[in-house]
Chain A
Amino acid sequence: MVATQRKTTQKKRFNDVVKAESRNLDFYYADGTQALKNVNLDVYENKITALIGPSGCGKSTFLRSFNRMHDLYTGNRYDGQIVLHPDNTNILDKKVDPIEVRMRISMVFQKPNPFPKSIYENVAYGLRVRGEANTHVLDEKVEEALKGASLWEEVKDRLHDLAFNLSGGQQQRLCIARALATEPEIMLFDEPTSALDPIATVNIEELMSELKKKLSILIVTHNMQQAARISDYCAYMYLGELVEHDLTDKIFTNPSKKETEDYITGKFG
């Protein structure tokens, strides 16, 4: 047997390294709804890419394609590719196991969704799933993840309390710690602050800017100010299509498409 040499790929655009790219991505729900139409979008390494657009335009659908969440329900269908670099893997390929994809790309949901278990067990779960049983390793990684999610100081004395006893903002940071513990390459956020109060929102936003030093972030947000505040790149979607994708500064000051400008300025949406 000859060990196969993996071909590694590296691409740059806008002077940034491409971590993942969707190529001609179409997506159909089981009932036949086409929710994505030919979407081509890059996600850059150590950058935050924000998806904006009116409700129902396909932002969540696009995001959830990145960890094959749609595979949980029968009848959903992808067309096209999402290629992950540097290994050049098409993660939508039928031969690629969705579990492998989810082990590389983690996700934080709209509503904080901790398990009805202890704080510790919530964070440790991703590691346990990977077969980690050594308590020292688990303790260490749980602490590291909680620190990474700036939650450690608040919970270090009650790691074995139920996660439900935390406030909404703390629960969401716990979910971030859970997603972080497994050291993902990309983290997906689907409107992570829409259920939180303004202070908790600021905390999460600051946290994301910290996180991008370690990984790449793709975030859906309903809130244009949030996109402007935290993202490096911004993509405007409408009716399942990608209208415009550019540096955030460019999108918010000088968009090249009329539709984007109308949306940004609040004339539409």
Chain B
Amino acid sequence: MAENNAKQLKDLDQIRALIQKHKKNDFIFAFIGMFIIASLTITLLILFLDLFFDGYPRLGLEFFSNYPSRKAIQAGILSAWIGSSLVLIVTFLVAVPMGIAAGVYLEEYAKKNWLSDLIEINVSNLAGVPSIIYGLLALGLFVYSFGLGQSILTAGLTLALLMLPVVIVATRESIRAIPVHIREAAFAVGATKWQVVLNHVIPYSYGGILTGVIIGMARAIGETAPVITIGALTFIAFLPPSPIGTEAPFLNFDWLQSGFTVLPIQMFNWISRPQYEFHVNAAATGAVIIVLTALMNGFAIKLRYDVRKKIKW
């Protein structure tokens, strides 16, 4: 009896020692992870603060309402932020419907065979193609073949191409997250495929899709190479025609054909000047881009959070 107790006690000691050892591994892994995340966050923060303090003297309302100028103090980003906004509107209106439609088709309608596998691999790879390649494609196709010119429309379409794979992949992944038993429940009451897509698949996956869309847009806002390739201007002291007209139908599409510049190009332009004062402008523009990107990502996180609260499987 006593012997038995002693043996059990010894076993217990062994178990505890083992748990201690495993706990130590937990701790080491958590520490390494924390360290990596902290260094990344701190690097990003330092970068941002550096830009912010360098650009601080220019970050006033006038910076947003002035055209670029030969005098650094008076120069602003009016044409650049309006250009960026208009280009992004085109990108959004083209990439989102096309991306969602393509994702839904691939996931719900396409037969699973070698062809769909091939398309799948290519779509994923497209997301990794250097953006300047898209710029070259756009220069050949949109500017020269279609004759769309070096316009806002061309830039919007180019960035839409860049964003399309992101939207397609996000759409497919959120669709796949819908459990089979929910889908079967819809079919079991007699719904057609289209009814299932419209009433279930899209409503349940739109949180994930929108997250993908916003992250894609945040990337598009900072893209420089493809926009330079298609010939965005670097010094613009005018605005495109207003999209909203004064007479019926109050919409005006002339702006699509207008020349333009965008925020990162404006920044690039200033940074390549020899005078230090322009570098201040560049830093301020950089801070604006980072804040915009962060805001968009924050919005994406909030959206995902709201949807998760409503839909849990």
Chain A residues in the interface with B (C-beta under 8 A): 67, 69, 72, 74, 99, 102-103, 106-107, 109, 111, 113-116, 125-126, 128-130, 162, 164, 175, 178-179, 182
Asked, given contacts A109-B184, A113-B182, A115-B200, whether A164 binds B190 with beta carbons under 8 Å apart, the answer is no
A102 near B190 with CB under 8 A, answer yes
Interface residues of B in 174-196 (CB under 8 A from A): 179, 181-182, 184-192, 195
Q: How far is the CB of A191 from chain B (nearest CB, A)?
A: 13
A-side contacts of B185, CB under 8 Å? 109, 113-115, 175, 178
Q: Which 6 A-B pairs have the closest CB atoms?
A: A126-B189, A103-B190, A113-B181, A116-B311, A102-B190, A107-B188
**Nearest A-chain residue to B187, judged by Cβ:** A72
B187 near A74 with CB under 8 A, answer no
Asked, given contacts A99-B192, A115-B200, A116-B204, whether A69 binds B187 with beta carbons under 8 Å apart, the answer is yes
Q: Which of A113, A126, A128, A178 contacts B184 (CB 8 A)?
A: A113
B188 near A179 with CB under 8 A, answer yes
Asked, given contacts A74-B111, A116-B204, A129-B195, whether A178 binds B189 with beta carbons under 8 Å apart, the answer is yes
A-side contacts of B184, CB under 8 Å? 69, 72, 109, 113
A115 near B187 with CB under 8 A, answer no
B181 near A74 with CB under 8 A, answer no
Complex alpha-carbon distance, A92 and B280, angstroms: 75
A-side contacts of B189, CB under 8 Å? 102, 106, 125-126, 129, 178-179, 182
**Nearest A-chain residue to B204, judged by Cβ:** A116
For the A-B complex with A69-B184, A129-B189, A129-B191 known, give 20 more contacts whose Cβ atoms are closer than 8 Å: A99-B191, A102-B190, A106-B189, A109-B184, A113-B181, A114-B185, A115-B185, A115-B186, A115-B200, A116-B311, A125-B189, A125-B199, A126-B189, A126-B190, A128-B199, A129-B195, A178-B189, A179-B188, A179-B189, A182-B189
Q: How far is the CB of A34 from chain B (nearest CB, A)?
A: 22
Complex alpha-carbon distance, A111 and B182, angstroms: 10
B-side contacts of A162, CB under 8 Å? 310
Tally B residues with Cβ within 8 Å of A: 21
Interface of B: prevailing SS: helix
Complex alpha-carbon distance, A168 and B2, angstroms: 50
Interface residues of B in 62-84 (CB under 8 A from A): none
Q: Which of B111, B181, B190, B310 contacts A130 (CB 8 A)?
A: B190
7 CB-based A-B contacts, threshold 8 Å: A102-B188, A109-B181, A109-B184, A109-B188, A115-B182, A129-B191, A162-B310
Complex alpha-carbon distance, A103 and B184, angstroms: 14
A-side contacts of B310, CB under 8 Å? 116, 162
Complex alpha-carbon distance, A114 and B111, angstroms: 28
B-side contacts of A69, CB under 8 Å? 184, 187-188
A102 near B199 with CB under 8 A, answer no
Asked, given contacts A111-B181, A115-B200, whether A106 binds B188 with beta carbons under 8 Å apart, the answer is yes
Chain B residues in the interface with A (C-beta under 8 A): 111-112, 179, 181-182, 184-192, 195, 199-200, 204, 310-312
A-side contacts of B190, CB under 8 Å? 99, 102-103, 126, 129-130, 182
Q: How far is the CB of A175 from chain B (nearest CB, A)?
A: 7
Complex alpha-carbon distance, A74 and B116, angstroms: 14
Which of B112, B179, B184, B189 has the most chain A CB atoms inside 10 A of its CB? B189
Q: How far is the CB of B195 from chain A (nearest CB, A)?
A: 6
B-side contacts of A106, CB under 8 Å? 188-189
Q: How far is the CB of A30 from chain B (nearest CB, A)?
A: 10
**Nearest B-chain residue to A75, judged by Cβ:** B112
Q: How far is the CB of B109 from chain A (nearest CB, A)?
A: 12
A-side contacts of B188, CB under 8 Å? 67, 69, 102, 106-107, 109, 179
B112 near A125 with CB under 8 A, answer no
Complex alpha-carbon distance, A179 and B191, angstroms: 12
B-side contacts of A179, CB under 8 Å? 188-189
**Nearest A-chain residue to B307, judged by Cβ:** A116
A-side contacts of B195, CB under 8 Å? 129
**Nearest B-chain residue to A128, judged by Cβ:** B199
Complex alpha-carbon distance, A114 and B182, angstroms: 7
**Nearest A-chain residue to B313, judged by Cβ:** A116
Complex alpha-carbon distance, A142 and B191, angstroms: 18
Complex alpha-carbon distance, A106 and B204, angstroms: 23
Q: How far is the CB of A84 from chain B (nearest CB, A)?
A: 15
Q: How far is the CB of B150 from chain A (nearest CB, A)?
A: 47
Asked, given contacts A99-B190, A113-B182, A130-B190, whether A74 binds B312 with beta carbons under 8 Å apart, the answer is no
A-side contacts of B186, CB under 8 Å? 115, 125
B-side contacts of A74, CB under 8 Å? 111-112
Q: How far is the CB of A105 from chain B (nearest CB, A)?
A: 9
